[in-house]
Structure 1
Amino acid sequence: MSPPLLGLAGFGVTLLLILLRVPVAVAMGLTGVAGFALLNGWPGAAFTLGSAPFESVFPYSLSVVPLFVAMGVFAARAGLSQSLYGAVNAFVGHRRGGLAMATIGACALFGAICGSSLATAATMGQVALPEMRRHGYDDRLASAAIAAGGTLGVLIPPSILLVLYGLLTETSIGALFVGALIPGLVSTLLYMAAVVVQTRRHPELGPAGERQSWRRRGRAVARIWEVALLFALVIGGIYFGLFSPTEAAAVGAAGAFLFALLGRGEGRRNRARDLLGAAFETARTTGMIFLILVGAGLFNYFVETSNLPQLLVGWAQAAGLPAFAVLLLVMLFYLVLGCFMDALSMILLTIPFIFPLIQALGFDAVWFGILVVTVAEIGLITPPVGMNLFVIQGVVPGLRQETIVRGILPFLVADLVRLVLLLLIPALVLFLPGQMGH
């Protein structure tokens, strides 16, 4: 078997192992070592096994990962999610479907300081679903709005997926963060539009609530100053060149820790326990990400040695397809793959051989990065392995998976509309990064 075909077979074997519920890091690592041994012999594989894990996790640039993870965890423990939900609800809660729209808006704001889809969905599920049920919302709309809104945590910066994509492709993390702002806003508005369309056709899904006075609205907005400050420091600092991404992550993590320490706790004892729990959660999440990075590093050695990226570039050139047609095929590949894999694993597994093809076709790395995270985001709410669907079911006792799946279709349509807009109008991504440093 030729090296490129062996590389392609290795990708298939890795997918099979993942479908058999072998841990993703183990599946990539085993395939990488075995494939490298078949191509270069076992002594070479042993050397790679000794060096690749260290090289995968030692770069200074990776320090941004635990810092952004800590920022999101401490922000969740600080009780900011309830204030965010209350602030958005004050403005749209009186409309049909208003609580669902408030949930999506709160998810977008929480994602701006969290960076994790699963954490956003879990946190907002505990806050928003009981409130929507109390107001007579149908569980299909309520649960699906939380699952879809939770995906904004991986698109709206700071995003762990964008950080890892930037590190893998040597793309500016700051440019990726800034480039995700407009797509994040578009996504939020499209999700809200999906709620409006549903409740206009079926008003019983989301009854209108009570209109609040402008005084109460002002008070609600004043309660989210911590979120505004963190977002301004982190993203504003990067945009205006005050901080590097690592420095911004450190500032954000320190600020979130202070808010968790001084904020809306229930006594010093509970607060100390919460902070200790947040530290352990940060360590567990960071350890999981770094273990997957080690497996991806071993797999990447194998892929590079197999010349699979060069095979794909050659295939694209020989097929004579327009570059945009190849990009559409790549997007379709990711949409299908996202139905069976979580977003982090999908990006780490595929970028090493997909990105050289994208570079050869001349597409912008920042634009492609936002596209990849967008399709990964769609995978988070696509059955059968949409991770956010399981998260919502886990945090809401008695909620059936079929209920969430039945409500998620309009939000998937909104996602596909957004993907088409980003493909047809690259300026939605590239305009703000083009202004950096001006």
Structure 2
Amino acid sequence: MMELSNDTIGIIGVIALLVLVFAGVRVYIAASLVGLLGTVAIIGWDAGAGIIGTVPHSKSIQYTFSVLPLFIIIGYLAFYAGITQALFDAARKWLGWLPGGLAIASVFANAGFAAVSGASTATAAVFARIAIPEMLKLGYDKRLAAGVVAVAGTLAAMIPPSALMVVYAIIVEASVGQLLVAGFLPGVMSAVGYATIIYVWCRINPNLGKAVGGYTWNERFRSLPGTTPVLAVVVIIFSAMYFGWATPTEAAALGAFVMFLLALLKGMSMRSLYDALMETAKLTVMIFALIWSVLIFVRFLGFAGLPERFAEFIVGLDMPPVLVMIMILIGYLILGCFMDAIGMLLLTLPVVYPTVIALGYDPIVFGVIVVKMCEVCLVTPPIGLNCFVVASVRRDIPLQTVFRGAMPFVIADFVLIAIFLAFPDVILWLPRQMLNN
């Protein structure tokens, strides 16, 4: 019987994983199964099963992992305490006078909630309940109302705290703190870009979303105290990481404690607290299961030596690095048509990351750009999870309407990605200041 080389086993494993995923097998099952069988095929059952069996425990006890449930619970506490409604009300009173003012208010309220939440789909679900009814009540076009909520929800993937950033940092062993800080400016630029699209769109066609006036300066200033819980947690987390007063996990723990106290002061019931804890546990378990399974698959790829071979092949091509990067990003866009963001990152980074580093790109820059590309995939068909979430919450708005409403904002995302590729210092400026403090 012909003995297969490690390279061949690695290629077979990658193909098998893709076939299983596209066939509908859940990512965590497919990755762990292929990883186990592939490792056993290379180094034998006893050694392979022994090594793979230790991966979930050895990786779970890493200090870095504890930041994930802490970031997640901050967002759920804010939602169940009703703090998100206060954010939207304040944004509406301050920005409603602009063309498409309620849609612009939704963007910045989403950005505020993103600063205490790490999950894009959760953010989209929250504002589909809060913002869309208000916009439709005032005659906003369904396409704009649904599209802006779906797209603005993706800001949670970029503005810290971000679960996707943490997952990226864990897989490639980069600095969680630097990555989270690096996502702040690109996240703000994204929010401004979305707001600009809305403003121009509604100036051209005022029937899409009319301005909302009638708010006095007194009403505007009285709306600000309701945003205090979010602002307090944002300042605590960002300042602690930026100035090096605390690790990301310590900053997240302090932020979660402060949000818990503020939620109690706002009258959060025990039932709401229970729901927040349960939602946090469910999302945390899902993310951890994905990470464990893909780390098993990564261990298999390491034994096969496939990432190194792929990196050597790409670097050996006579192509400019930026062209290779564009091709990689196009690959993510295509893959995003069939997979969710976390699964896509976990499956591709073990192979793609060594190649990107060999091309001379900074790990922080690539992390922000690839997470930004994952944001795009959250609102592009046929998967577009955020669009599905909005359509499931608002059953009166067809899914295709949500996708159509999101398309103009995708153009803004592509422009921003091009800016980040051309001017990586936009991403690196804050992390460099952080290191100098």
Per the alignment, in what secondary structure is the counterpart of residue 297 of structure 1? helix
Residues 1:100 and 2:98 aligned together = no
Residues 1:251 and 2:249 aligned together = no
Counting only pairs closer than 5 Å after superposition, residues 54-93 of structure 1 correspond to structure 2 as 54-93=57-96
Q: C-alpha deviations, 1:190-210, integer Å up to 9, x for none?
A: 111121232123221112212
Per the TM alignment, residue 38 of structure 1 is displaced from its structure 2 partner at its CA by 2.3
Per the TM alignment, residue 264 of structure 1 is displaced from its structure 2 partner at its CA by 4.8
Code of the aligned partner of 2:70: L
Per the alignment, in what secondary structure is the counterpart of residue 113 of structure 1? coil
Residue among 291, 295, 316 paired with 2:314: 316
Code of the aligned partner of 1:135: L
Residue among 11, 14, 20 paired with 1:8: 11
Counting only pairs closer than 5 Å after superposition, residues 356-395 of structure 1 correspond to structure 2 as 356-395=354-393
Per the TM alignment, residue 322 of structure 1 is displaced from its structure 2 partner at its CA by 2.0
Residues 1:141 and 2:144 aligned together = yes
**Gaps spanning 5+ residues in structure 1: where?**
266-270
4+ long deviations beyond 3 Å? none
Indicate the larger mover: 212-221 or 367-376: 212-221
Structure 2 Cα separation of the partners of residues 97 and 6 of structure 1 = 55
Per the TM alignment, residue 168 of structure 1 is displaced from its structure 2 partner at its CA by 1.7
Per the alignment, in what secondary structure is the counterpart of residue 86 of structure 1? helix
Residues 1:187 and 2:190 aligned together = yes
Residues 1:280 and 2:278 aligned together = yes
Counterpart of 1:268 in structure 2 is: none
Q: C-alpha deviations, 1:182-228, integer Å up to 9, x for none?
A: 10011001111121232123221112212422221111122211111
Per the alignment, in what secondary structure is the counterpart of residue 116 of structure 2? helix
Counterpart of 1:433 in structure 2 is: 431
Counterpart of 1:157 in structure 2 is: 160
Q: Do the aligned residues in 2 keep the contact of 1:57 with 1:293 (CA within 8 Å)? A: no
Per the TM alignment, residue 249 of structure 1 is displaced from its structure 2 partner at its CA by 0.8
Counting only pairs closer than 5 Å after superposition, residues 176-215 of structure 1 correspond to structure 2 as 176-215=179-218
Q: Do the aligned residues in 2 keep the contact of 1:33 with 1:49 (CA within 8 Å)? A: yes
Structure 1 Cα separation of the partners of residues 338 and 8 of structure 2 = 23
Per the TM alignment, residue 15 of structure 1 is displaced from its structure 2 partner at its CA by 2.5
Structure 2 Cα separation of the partners of residues 199 and 33 of structure 1 = 54
Residues 1:341 and 2:339 aligned together = yes
Per the alignment, in what secondary structure is the counterpart of residue 25 of structure 2? coil
Q: Give the root-mean-square deviation of aligned CA atoms.
A: 1.4
Residue among 35, 49, 53 paired with 2:52: 49
Structure 1 Cα separation of the partners of residues 101 and 9 of structure 2 = 53
Structure 2 Cα separation of the partners of residues 205 and 17 of structure 1 = 43
Q: C-alpha deviations, 1:60-111, integer Å up to 9, x for none?
A: 2211111111111111112111111111111221222111111011001100
How many residue pairs end up in the alignment?
433
**Gaps spanning 5+ residues in structure 2: where?**
none
Code of the aligned partner of 2:173: E
Residues 1:306 and 2:309 aligned together = no
Structure 2 Cα separation of the partners of residues 355 and 260 of structure 1 = 40
Residue among 24, 34, 37 paired with 2:37: 34
Per the TM alignment, residue 174 of structure 1 is displaced from its structure 2 partner at its CA by 1.3
Per the alignment, in what secondary structure is the counterpart of residue 242 of structure 1? coil
Q: Do the aligned residues in 2 keep the contact of 1:125 with 1:392 (CA within 8 Å)? A: yes
Structure 1 Cα separation of the partners of residues 142 and 267 of structure 2 = 29
Structure 1 Cα separation of the partners of residues 38 and 173 of structure 2 = 25
Per the alignment, in what secondary structure is the counterpart of residue 228 of structure 1? helix
Q: Do the aligned residues in 1 keep the contact of 2:98 with 2:199 (CA within 8 Å)? A: no
Q: Do the aligned residues in 1 keep the contact of 2:31 with 2:297 (CA within 8 Å)? A: yes
Q: Do the aligned residues in 2 keep the contact of 1:238 with 1:245 (CA within 8 Å)? A: yes
Code of the aligned partner of 1:331: L
Residues 1:115 and 2:118 aligned together = yes
Q: CA 1:5/1:206 → structure 2, altered by over 3 Å: closer, same or farther? A: farther
